[in-house]
Amino acid sequence: MTFFDDKAMTQAEDTTVTSAPQVGDQTISVNVELSGPEWSLRTTLLVPKEPIAPEKMVPVFFSFADAVVGSAAENVERTGEKVSCKMGCGACCRQLVPISETEARWIHDVVERLPSVRRTEIRTRFAEARRRLSEAGLVDRLLHPETWAEGEGWSIAMSYFHLGIACPFLEDESCSIHADRPVKCREYLVTSPPEHCAQPTANTIKMVDLPFRVWTAMARLDNDSPTEGKIPWVPLVLALEWTDNQPQRPVPSCGHEVLRRFFEILSRKSIVGGQSSVVESHTDLGERK
Ligand code: SF4
């Protein structure tokens, strides 16, 4: 089991979404309630009121992912198991980390905001990682996952892992962008011994089971018409290059509309009408299209 987990590409089913927005000066407060056969989650998300660039919504999804992961971890610990991930353990940070295209732009902007010396240092690490991937003939493969054959993802992820390339943000085995780290990093939580993450196999890694993957719903937000079921994604290690090669950014849109589409994708049921019609009557997520 690695960061790159084909199972993670699946979507949640049997969820319901509720929200009761409160409109403030700058933000809309959205109460979210999700439930499935054996789990439920309530949280509140603050969404910018004005139309914004998609990457500005990323912190909202971070907050949601943290709520999902936190709740799943609590459930696991109630059964007596213990989450073994902790500060200073970067054993998983040499794996292939898939992120959504919007997060790739987010990561690019995180790096661009760094002071120039630091930015150069981080960009140099990205360049060195790319050099090693290029030597291994992996750059084109990683930039075009849509061309991968069925089942090829695992072998490419293993080839990547065996290169031992540390994430450019990893320092002293800790994440140097902890608050800004991608959703996939937040979702990788294990109860197996941490040393197993340095040699991951399906038999030795026990991940905390999540009811759904937030990062795949984010990736589908970027393109909800995946070719042959393959959603678009970018390897974290190539996020700067990918973004540099895409100078045109998506147009801004209203945060609550983005959130509405996100939950539609997550639940695969329309928030408007059907099972959620009662909910719709006291939300403006549908009405503000
Ligand atoms: S962003 Fe942080 S948590 Fe994610 S792989 Fe890199 S160092 Fe690890």
Give the Å distance between the CA of 277 and the centre of ligand 1. 40
- Are the C-beta atoms of 44 and 63 separated by less than 8 Å? no
Six token digits for residue 17: 């979404």
Q: Which pLDDT value is given to residue 27?
A: 85
Give the Å distance between the CA of 168 and the centre of ligand 1. 8
Examine the pLDDT at 195 and tell me if it is beyond 70. yes
Give the confidence band of 150 by pLDDT, cuts at 50, 70, 90.
Answer: confident
Q: Which pLDDT value is given to residue 224?
A: 72
**Please, what sign has the CA dihedral across residues 241, 245, 246, 247?**
positive
- Are the C-beta atoms of 286 and 280 separated by less than 8 Å? yes
Mean pLDDT within 190-212: 85
Give the Å distance between the CA of 90 and the centre of ligand 1. 8
Task: Give residue limits of the domains in the chain.
Answer: 6-280
- Are the C-beta atoms of 34 and 17 separated by less than 8 Å? yes
Give the Å distance between the CA of 282 and the centre of ligand 1. 39
Q: What is the pLDDT of residues 31-83, one digit of tens each?
A: 888 887 778 888 999 998 889 999 999 999 999 999 999 999 998 998 999 99
Give the Å distance between the CA of 226 and the centre of ligand 1. 26
Six token digits for residue 106: 């987010």
Q: Kindly report the pTM of this predicted structure.
A: 0.84
Spatial CA neighbour of 249 closest among 47, 55, 49, 50: 55
**Which of 110, 161, 170, 189 is the best mutation target for the ligand 1 pocket, counting ligand atoms within 8 Å of the beta carbon and taking the most?**
170
**Which of 177, 184, 186, 189 is the best mutation target for the ligand 1 pocket, counting ligand atoms within 8 Å of the beta carbon and taking the most?**
177
Residue type, 134: S
Q: Whose CA is nearest to atom 1 of ligand 1?
A: 181
Residue 178: CB atoms within 10 A of its CB come to 11
Six token digits for residue 48: 């910018």
**Please, what sign has the CA dihedral across residues 41, 76, 208, 172?**
positive
Examine the pLDDT at 189 and tell me if it is beyond 50. yes
Mean pLDDT within 111-138: 98
For the chain, give the number of residues: 289
Ligand 1 atom with the smallest distance to the CA of 181 is 1
Q: What is the C-alpha separation between 203 and 186, in angstroms, rounded?
A: 22
Identify the residues whose C-beta falls under 6 Å from ligand 1: 90, 93, 97, 167, 169-170, 175, 177, 181, 185
Give the Å distance between the CA of 187 and the centre of ligand 1. 11
Give the Å distance between the CA of 49 and the centre of ligand 1. 30
Give the confidence band of 14 by pLDDT, cuts at 50, 70, 90.
Answer: very low
Q: Whose CA is nearest to atom 4 of ligand 1?
A: 185
Residue for token digits 């969820």? 15
Strand, helix or coil for residue 58? helix
Ligand 1 atom with the smallest distance to the CA of 185 is 4
- List, in sequence order, the alpha helices (H) in 113-175: 116-135, 139-143, 152-163
Q: Whose CA is nearest to atom 8 of ligand 1?
A: 93
Q: What percent of the chain has pLDDT above 90?
A: 52
Residue for token digits 């150069």? 120
Q: Which pLDDT value is given to residue 102?
A: 96
Name the phi and psi angles at 200, rounded to 5.
-70, 135
Judged by phi (left if over 0) then psi (alpha if -120 to 50, else beta), residue 36 lies in beta
Q: Which pLDDT value is given to residue 275?
A: 30
Type and span of the H or E element at 277 = helix 277-280
* Residue 28 exposed, middle or buried by CB count within 10 Å (0-12, 13-18, 19+): buried
- Are the C-beta atoms of 231 and 102 separated by less than 8 Å? no
**Which of 167, 236, 237 is the best mutation target for the ligand 1 pocket, counting ligand atoms within 8 Å of the beta carbon and taking the most?**
167
Q: What is the C-alpha separation between 276 and 232, in angstroms, rounded?
A: 28
Examine the pLDDT at 20 and tell me if it is beyond 90. no
Residues with Cβ within 8 Å of 225's Cβ and at least 6 positions away in sequence, in order, are: none
Give the Å distance between the CA of 93 and the centre of ligand 1. 5
Give the Å distance between the CA of 81 and the centre of ligand 1. 24
**Dihedral angle of Cα 261, 190, 79, 43, to the nearest 10 degrees:** -30
